C-alpha cells in the first residue's frame, strides 16, 4: 500500500525544473522556499508581504483608479551551494536524480548528480535535506543538510554557502501575454550587518516600498566556506541554518547544534498535531488519497499564522498573481482552517480587521458615504487592481469576508473574537451595502438592488443584480443583525435604532431574481438573454478565453469562467429545492469553461449533493490533482491555493455532505462508488469529532468535549461525552 504522506518525483506528470520547484516548495505562511536546484543560481525565496511598489501607468486615467502596483519579490534561493573542484572549475548540475517529500515530518530530500564539465558523467552526488520551521517560535527558520558523496572524484573540493547574492540570481521566465504572471523588475539593495567564518547576516531593502528583510546564514559546526579532501566512496555532511526576519536588526537566535535539534523536534510535533486534527483519509483510491494529503499539506504551508498577512493566490510557493490576496482566502481556504485549525483561521480574519482603515477610505473613493470596501487584490490593504471591471467591481468580497466571519464564529463560538474583530467587520461591510445599493421597483415590488457590479464569474462584468452578490449581501446584513444584540456591549459600535431598522428593511428587501419562464435562477439581469458562446467550435488552443479574446468580446456572451450563481447553492444548503438546484446545475454547467482553477471544486460539491456520482468524482479528480498533473499548465508560477482548499470542500461539503444549519452540524453520505471509505476530523465548538463513511454506514464519533447534537442523514443524534 502506498504511503499517502510521501510524494516523489515520479509522481509528477510534469517533471520540468520549474514545476518541480513549485510542487516541492516548503513554507510556513511567513516565507517559502522553492525546491530549486542548489547548484543553479536562481530566484526561489518568497517572503509573505515583501513587495515592491510602482505607479500604475494608464493610457487614460480617471478618479479613484488604483494608483500603485504591488508585486511580491522573488529573492535568491536559500538552497544555493557553490562547489569547485581543485582546478577551480564550478560544479555543473546534472539535474535531480530523485526528490521525495515526507509530509508527515515536513522533510524534503533531493539528490542531484554533479559533474565539473557538461559532457562528463557524475563525479559526485549532492543530497539536500531541508525543512522549514512551522512552530510559532520557528517561523524564521530554514534548515539545510547537505551530503556530498564522491563517485569518482579524487582531490580537494571547495564548498561555499553563499548569502543572498542578488546580482547572481537568474530571473524566472515570464510570459508577457499572461496577466496572471508579471515581472515588473525590482531594485533591491543589500547590506552586510555582520560576517564571520561561520555566520553572515544581511539586509535586503526594496527601493520604493522601503521594506527590509534580514537574512542570517549560519554553519552548524562548520564554516560558510570549507575545503575538504575526497576520494571515491567518501562522503561528508554539512548543516546550515538560515533565518529570515521581517523585523530587521533584531537579534536572531544563536545557531547551535542544540537549537537545530530543538527545531527538528518542534517541527515534527507540529506536523503530527496538524495531521491529527486535519487529515482526510480516502480508502480505495491511493492516487487521490495522496493528492489530497498533498493539497492539505501545502494549504497549511501557505497560511500566515501571525495575523500580519493573509494567504496569497499562490501562497508562498511562487510569485504568480504578484503575491496578492483575493477573496479566495475566505471562501475556498478558510473553511478548512475554521474546521480543523481555528487558531490559524482566527489570525487570517484578524488580518482583514486590521485592513479596515484602508477599506473605509476606499469606500469613500468609490462614492460610498459610509462603511468599508476591502480591496479586490492587494498586499498592503490598498487596491492594486488596474482593471476595475474584473477587479474593484467585485464588491462581493465584502460579503465573502463577512460570510467567513460568520462561519468561524458559528463553528468555534469564539466570543472574544466576535466582540473585538468580527462584529466591527460585519458592521462596516453591512453599512457599505446599505449605502452602495438603491431602492427600486421590480415586478411591481419595491426592492433593494445593486447596480454595475461584477460577480465571481469574471467573464461577465458590470451588471445589475448579480445573484451571488445580492444573496451574499443579504447574508452579510443578516449576520450583523443576528449578532449585534449579543455583542453590542463589548463592541461599542456607533449603531442607532434607526440604523438597525434600515438594515432590517434592506435585508428583507434585497432583490433575488428568478426566471419563471425558464424556471432558472438568473446569474444577473441580462445574462440569460445574451447569445451563448460557441464553446463546441472554439479551438482548444483558445482556452483560457481571457488570453485570446478581448474582454468586451467575452462580456457579450453567456459564458462562465467559473460558477457564479451556483456557488450560492453550496454556501446556503437547503435554500432551494433539489429540483431547482438540478435545473440550475444543468444549465450553468453547459456554459462554464473552467478557465479558473476555482471552478471544478464547486461543481464537485454540487454534483455530489445532487447524486451525480460520476460527474462529482471526475470534477474532484481534476481538482485534487490539478497541480500534480499541471492541469492548468501554469503550476510553475505557484500552486493554486484556492483549488487546494476547494478539494477539501469537495470532500467535506460534497461527498460527506457536511454543513452547519441553525447551529447544528449536518452530515449526509454521498461517498463515491469508486471509494470504499472516507475518514476525517472536525472541530466544532471546542469538540473534536471524527466522521467515518462507508457505502452503507455513516459514523460520527465525539473524541473529546461535551455532548453535542448533530444531524446524520436528516436524523438528529446526540453524541455523548466520553467517559473520563
| DSSP assignment of 512-556 | ---BTTTTB--SSSSGGGSPBP-GGGS-GGG-SGGGTS-HHHHHT
CA distance 606 to 613: 10
Tell me if 266 sits within 8 A of 133, measured CB to CB. yes
Q: Which three cell numbers stand for residue 460?
A: 461577465
How many Å apart are CA 97 and CA 628, to the nearest integer? 19
What strand order describes the sheet that includes 225-230?
Answer: 82-84, 155-160, 225-230
Pairing state of beta strands 677-684 and 280-283? antiparallel
- My answer on whether omega of the bond before 544 falls inside 30° of 0, hence cis, is yes
Cα separation values, 400 from 165, 172, 490, 514, 582, Å: 41, 33, 24, 22, 24
Burial class (CB in 10 A: 0-12, 13-18, 19+), 217: buried
Alpha helical stretches, state H, 303-355? 328, 334-340, 342-354
For residues 187 and 205, the answer to whether their CB atoms sit within 8 Å is: no
Q: What share of the chain is helix, strand, coil (3-state, %, to 5)?
A: 35, 25, 40
Q: One of 279, 410, 428, 458 is an active-site residue; which one?
A: 458
Q: Quick check: is 458 catalytic?
A: yes
Give CA–CA dist 652/678, Å, rounded: 10
Angle at 204 between CA 200 and CA 209, to 5 degrees: 165
Q: How far is CA 61 from CA 66, 69, 83, in A?
A: 10, 15, 52
From 138, 383, 447, 101, select the one nearest 264 (Cα to Cα): 138
Computed from CA positions of residues 489, 354, 248, 343, in that sequence, does the dihedral angle turn out positive or negative? Answer: positive
Instruction: Identify any residues that bridge with 43 across adjacent strands, giving them in sequence order.
Output: 76
Query: In Å, what is the CA distance from 567 to each residue of 351, 468, 598?
Result: 25, 7, 11
What is the SS3 assignment for 238-285?
EEEEEEEECCCCCCCCCCCHHHHHHHHHHHHHHHHHHHHHHCEEEECC
* 3-state class (DSSP) for residue 478: helix
Contact 471, 455 (CB under 8 A): no
3 state DSSP class of 355: coil
The catalytic site residues sit at: 458
Amino acid at each position: 500500500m502506498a504511503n499517502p504522506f510521501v510524494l516523489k518525483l515520479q509522481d509528477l506528470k510534469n517533471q520540468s525544473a520549474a514545476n518541480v520547484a513549485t510542487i516541492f516548495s516548503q513554507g510556513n505562511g511567513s516565507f517559502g522556499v522553492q525546491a530549486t536546484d542548489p547548484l543553479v543560481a536562481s530566484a526561489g525565496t518568497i517572503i509573505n508581504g515583501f513587495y515592491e511598489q510602482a505607479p500604475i501607468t494608464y493610457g487614460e486615467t480617471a478618479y479613484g483608479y488604483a494608483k500603485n502596483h504591488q508585486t511580491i519579490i522573488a529573492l535568491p534561493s536559500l538552497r544555493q551551494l557553490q562547489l569547485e573542484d581543485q582546478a577551480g572549475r564550478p560544479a555543473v548540475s546534472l539535474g535531480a536524480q530523485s526528490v521525495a517529500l515526507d509530509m508527515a515530518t515536513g522533510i524534503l530530500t533531493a539528490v542531484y548528480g554533479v559533474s565539473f564539465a557538461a559532457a562528463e558523467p557524475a563525479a559526485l552526488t549532492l543530497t539536500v535535506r531541508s525543512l522549514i520551521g512551522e512552530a510559532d517560535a520557528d517561523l524564521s527558520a530554514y534548515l539545510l543538510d547537505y551530503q556530498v558523496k564522491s563517485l569518482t572524484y579524487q582531490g580537494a573540493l571547495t564548498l561555499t554557502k553563499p548569502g543572498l547574492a542578488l546580482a547572481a540570481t537568474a530571473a524566472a521566465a515570464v510570459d508577457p501575454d499572461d496577466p496572471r504572471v508579471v515581472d515588473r523588475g525590482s531594485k533591491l539593495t543589500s547590506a552586510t550587518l555582520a560576517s564571520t567564518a561561520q555566520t553572515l547576516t544581511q539586509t535586503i531593502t526594496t527601493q520604493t516600498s522601503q521594506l527590509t528583510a534580514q537574512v542570517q546564514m549560519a554553519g552548524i559546526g562548520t564554516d560558510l566556506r570549507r575545503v575538504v579532501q575526497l576520494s571515491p566512496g567518501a562522503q561528508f555532511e554539512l548543516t546550515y541554518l538560515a533565518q529570515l526576519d521581517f523585523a530587521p536588526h533584531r537579534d536572531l537566535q544563536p545557531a547551535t547544534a542544540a537549537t537545530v535539534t530543538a527545531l527538528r523536534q518542534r517541527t515534527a510535533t507540529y506536523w503530527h498535531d496538524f495531521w491529527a486534527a486535519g487529515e482526510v483519509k480516502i480508502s480505495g483510491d491511493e492516487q487521490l488519497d495522496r493528492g489530497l494529503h498533498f493539497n492539505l499539506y501545502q494549504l497549511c504551508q501557505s497560511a500566515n499564522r501571525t495575523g500580519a498577512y493573509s494567504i496569497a493566490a499562490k501562497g508562498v510557493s511562487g510569485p504568480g498573481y504578484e503575491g496578492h490576496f483575493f477573496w479566495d482566502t475566505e471562501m475556498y481556504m478558510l473553511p478548512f482552517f475554521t474546521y480543523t485549525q481555528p487558531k490559524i483561521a482566527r489570525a487570517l480574519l484578524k488580518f482583514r480587521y486590521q485592513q479596515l482603515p484602508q477599506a473605509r477610505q476606499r469606500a469613500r473613493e468609490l462614492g460610498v458615504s459610509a462603511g468599508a470596501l476591502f480591496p479586490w487584490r492587494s498586499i498592503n490593504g490598498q487596491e492594486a487592481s488596474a482593471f476595475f471591471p474584473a477587479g474593484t467591481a467585485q464588491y462581493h468580497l465584502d460579503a465573502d469576508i463577512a460570510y467567513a466571519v460568520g462561519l468561524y464564529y458559528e463553528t468555534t463560538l469564539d466570543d472574544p473574537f466576535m466582540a473585538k474583530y468580527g462584529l466591527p467587520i460585519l458592521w462596516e461591510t453591512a453599512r457599505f451595502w446599505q449605502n452602495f445599493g438603491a431602492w427600486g421597483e421590480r415586478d411591481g415590488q419595491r426592492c433593494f438592488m445593486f447596480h454595475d457590479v461584477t460577480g465571481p464569474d469574471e467573464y461577465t462584468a458590470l451588471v445589475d443584480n448579480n445573484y451571488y452578490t445580492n444573496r451574499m449581501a443579504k447574508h452579510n446584513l443578516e449576520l450583523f443583525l443576528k449578532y449585534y444584540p449579543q455583542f453590542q456591549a463589548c463592541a461599542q459600535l456607533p449603531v442607532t435604532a434607526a440604523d438597525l431598522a434600515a438594515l432590517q428593511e434592506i435585508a428583507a428587501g434585497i432583490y433575488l431574481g428568478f426566471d419563471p419562464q425558464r424556471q432558472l435562477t438568473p446569474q444577473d439581469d441580462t445574462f440569460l438573454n445574451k447569445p451563448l458562446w460557441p464553446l463546441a467550435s472554439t479551438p482548444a488552443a483558445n482556452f483560457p478565453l481571457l488570453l485570446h479574446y478581448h474582454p468586451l468580446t467575452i462580456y457579450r456572451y453567456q459564458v462562465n469562467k467559473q460558477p457564479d450563481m451556483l456557488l450560492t447553492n453550496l454556501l446556503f444548503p437547503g435554500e432551494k429545492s433539489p429540483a431547482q438546484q438540478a435545473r440550475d446545475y444543468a444549465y450553468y454547467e453547459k456554459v462554464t469553461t473552467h478557465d479558473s482553477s476555482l471552478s471544478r471544486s464547486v461543481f464537485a460539491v454540487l454534483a455530489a449533493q445532487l447524486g451525480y456520482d460520476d460527474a462529482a468524482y471526475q470534477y474532484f479528480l481534476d481538482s485534487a490533482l490539478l497541480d500534480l498533473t499541471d492541469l492548468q499548465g501554469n503550476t510553475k508560477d505557484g500552486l493554486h491555493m484556492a483549488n487546494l482548499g476547494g478539494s477539501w470542500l469537495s470532500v467535506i461539503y460534497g461527498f460527506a455532505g457536511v454543513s452547519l444549519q441553525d447551529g447544528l452540524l449536518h452530515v449526509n453520505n454521498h461517498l463515491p462508488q469508486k471509494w470504499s471509505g472516507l475518514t476525517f476530523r472536525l472541530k466544532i465548538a471546542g469538540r473534536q469529532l471524527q466522521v467515518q463513511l462507508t457505502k452503507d454506514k455513516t459514523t460520527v464519533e465525539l473524541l473529546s468535549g461535551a455532548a453535542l447534537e448533530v444531524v446524520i442523514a436528516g436524523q438528529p443524534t446526540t453524541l455523548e461525552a466520553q467517559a473520563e
